[in-house]
Amino acid sequence: MSHRFHSRSSSVSRKRRRFVGTAAAGLLLSVALAAAPAVAAETAVAFVRALGDTAIRELAPNDITPAERETKFRALLEANFDMARITRFVLGRYARRASDAEMATFTTLYEDLAVLTYAQMFASYAGHVFKVTKQLGQPGDKYQMVVSELTEANGKLAARLDWQLLVEKSRYAVVDIRVEGVSMAIAQRDEFTAFLDKNNGDMSAFLKELDAKVQKLRNDRSARK
């Protein structure tokens, strides 16, 4: 009866899952928990450059433990992304139907899912180079886009990442990242909405499914130690 997150069959869905599985996607499934303040920076480009450089520097080294990498990844999420906005977006119309308790449970599970899924991917990023290529939009726009690239040590392009930023009083927060043009926030919303639609909007079933996925990731990580 339950419609699993990974069972979608459309070609668009398969394409999105391939992008999520790329190394670059680890930089971005920045969809997490409570509202952290946006970070001040001189420009949107400076903000994204600092974020990307920090992620590679702190998460890629192979001399840190999985637990340390997860802790650092979680800190980056909470400090640089508009978590509350993203969390509500990925639930789509079901965010309005969820109770406060259900929303609190979801945001906690969702942050854990993001951390457990993507933090360890950085172990293979040592030697990669993060480069900002251009900024789209006008200085006074509420939302701005910064285009960047992740390349291997030999200069081979790994992926293009487009960072959508919310700008408020010269402070920036990430609200979405597109990998090769595919929005991660929209892909996640489509996936969650599909599950809830198939289960008649049963939030309890949805949270149970998400919790099971988080627990499996924890168990898999423990088994690899």
The C-alpha atoms of residue 36 and residue 84 are separated, in whole angstroms, by 8
Q: Hunting for tokens 């920045």 — which residue is that?
A: 30
Compute the distance between CA of residue 75 and CA of residue 34 in angstroms, rounded to an integer: 12
Q: Which residue has better confidence, 80 or 28?
A: 80
Instruction: Give 166's contacts (C-beta < 8 A, 6+ positions apart).
Output: 38, 82, 85, 142, 143, 172, 173, 174, 175
**Residue 197 contacts by C-beta under 8 Å, 6 or more apart in sequence?**
none
3 state SS of 145: strand
Domains belonging to the chain, first-starting first, are: 9-216 (3.10.450.710)
Q: What is the mean pLDDT of residues 100-113?
A: 94
* Alpha carbon distances (Å) from 48 to 69, 104, 123, 142, 146: 20, 29, 21, 16, 7
Residue positions counted in the chain: 225
Q: Which of 53-62, 72-81, 122-131, 205-214 has the lowest mean pLDDT?
A: 122-131
pLDDT higher than 70, residue 22: no
Whether the Cβ atoms of residue 56 and residue 130 lie closer than 8 Å to each other: yes
Using CA atoms of 113, 175, 119, 183 in order, give the dihedral in degrees to the nearest 10. Answer: 80
Residue pair 86/30 in contact (Cβ under 8 Å)? The answer is: yes
pLDDT in tens, 166-211: 998 778 999 998 988 899 899 999 999 999 999 999 999 999 999 9
Residue type, 221: R
Of 17-31, 45-59, 67-81, 100-114, the one with minimum mean pLDDT is 17-31
> Tokens 């939009």 — which residue?
137
Over pLDDT 90: what percentage of the chain? 41
Of residues 212 and 10, more confidence is placed in 212
23 has a pLDDT exceeding 60: no
